[in-house]
Amino acid sequence: MLSPLLVEEDTAANKVLTNDDLLGEILPRIHCPSCLACAALTCKRWLRNASNETTICRFPSRISSHLLGVYVSIDGFSNPKFVPLPDASRHELAVALQHGNFSFSDMDCPLLSIWDCRNDRVLYGFSKFFNVALGPAVRVPLRCPGENTVILPPQPSTTWPNCPHAMLLPDDDSDDTSCYRVDIGNKDRTVYARVFVLRAGTWTVHFSTLADLAKSPQKILTMTLLMRGKIYMLTMAGYILTLDLATTGFSIVDLPRGVEFEYSDNLVPCQGDNSVLYLFNGGEPLDGQEWEEAVVSIVGVGDNAEFVFLEFEEIGVIAYMHLKSRKVKKVYQRHPDNDFAISVLPFMMVWPVVFPELGVDEGEGLQQE
């Protein structure tokens, strides 16, 4: 793909590549998202055409998302680290990695934690043990610097529980909510919850509710999933507790037959298309094996049960497994002296891509026409 600057002597090509009507026909026929992004960065005219609503709508809508990398979070040890995946060396993924702002290494605040990672966005906050005058924020790594981070307004104070159980990004692009906050607790069989929503820069109470369950959850784990208007939470009692955001009601989902709850990392839920809920169940030691030598923890999963990240605890290796191809690749090595809890959040590049808006300067920094 040639920019107008390279075809000044070619009159025929120049007439095509500087004609808005013809560009409007050409750009939607590009079948690679990264190529369209490169075209948008060529000059102001191409940026306007690439980010045109007509072009976006005509671009193929079923392009699959790409796994660019993962955020590895180690509780109490360090800030999350972004790790590109081995397959991200492919051209279209390498372009996104080169221009994205994924790392948190430039932040001075300690013990930043990532709450959620979805639809090109990363929701993060800071440990309550440090006096940090910053609230939670949302970063969009693939946007231009200066436009990629939004600091959320201060969270509403509450006396129950003492801190949020979960902070969640909406799972539906049509949802005008910026963020959900869930406070939840229980006393024996009685479960109570309060859900806050952030819309148009203002926190409001979505609802408060309580219910008596047939069986005490014992403890509600922080493993939380928002899917199709329902929040799914694992419990120490060995079932999934569901909170419906529309009806404000609780319900219980029993684990599949033969699946037993052993510890917090052997059961991990993930969402699928058409309101399908997947549940990953980690393996257990075989007969004759010591637990420490054989245990494998599930530390991250992909939507639609496409892939899983496993930690081999004896050697501290995090491996990526694609479930259809059964390919396994090492992606991270834990420090041998670090035994804190670890989690992996995948970062997916999804379509449509978000282009920077032209300001008063009409795209300063881009090549001039």
Last residue of a domain, one of 239, 254, 269: 254
DSSP label of 339 = -
Q: Is 47 a member of any domain?
A: yes
Tell me the C-alpha distance between 151 and 134, whole Å: 8
The predicted structure's pLDDT at residue 367: 42
Last residue of a domain, one of 254, 283, 306: 254
Q: How many CB atoms lie within 10 A of CB 44?
A: 17
The predicted structure's pLDDT at residue 253: 94
Q: Is 331 a member of any domain?
A: no
Q: Is 44 a member of any domain?
A: yes
- Helix then strand then coil, in percent of the chain rounded to 5, is 15, 35, 45
Domain span at residue 18 reads: 4-58
The predicted structure's pLDDT at residue 365: 39
Q: Which residue has the tokens 């970062």?
A: 347
Q: Is 194 a member of any domain?
A: yes
Whole-prediction pTM value? 0.77
Whether the Cβ atoms of residue 237 and residue 216 lie closer than 8 Å to each other: yes
The predicted structure's pLDDT at residue 291: 46
Could you give the C-alpha distances from 368 to 12, 42, 354, 357, in angstroms and in order? 20, 9, 21, 16
Whether the Cβ atoms of residue 184 and residue 172 lie closer than 8 Å to each other: no
Biggest alpha carbon–alpha carbon distance for the chain: 79
Q: What confidence tens digit (pLDDT) does each residue in 274-297 have?
A: 889 999 987 665 455 554 545 788
Residue among 223, 150, 228, 220 at smallest CA distance from 185 = 220
Output the tens digit of pLDDT for each of the chain's 369 residues: 445 454 455 567 777 777 888 877 777 776 666 677 677 777 777 777 776 666 666 555 445 678 889 999 887 567 889 999 866 556 556 767 777 888 887 676 656 789 999 988 999 987 665 455 567 889 888 776 667 888 899 888 877 766 788 999 998 767 788 999 999 999 999 999 999 999 999 999 999 999 999 999 999 998 899 999 999 999 999 899 999 999 999 999 999 988 888 777 788 999 998 889 999 987 665 455 554 545 788 999 999 999 999 999 888 999 999 998 888 999 999 887 777 888 899 998 876 555 555 554 444 434 444
Name the residue type at position 42. T
Q: What is the CATH number of the domain that holds 250?
A: 2.40.10
The predicted structure's pLDDT at residue 129: 54
Domain count for the chain: 2
Q: Is 69 a member of any domain?
A: no
Q: Is 291 a member of any domain?
A: no
Q: Is 117 a member of any domain?
A: no
Cis previous bond, 352, omega within 30: yes
The predicted structure's pLDDT at residue 20: 80
The predicted structure's pLDDT at residue 270: 93
Q: Is 30 a member of any domain?
A: yes
Whether the Cβ atoms of residue 194 and residue 205 lie closer than 8 Å to each other: yes
DSSP label of 159 = S
The predicted structure's pLDDT at residue 49: 75
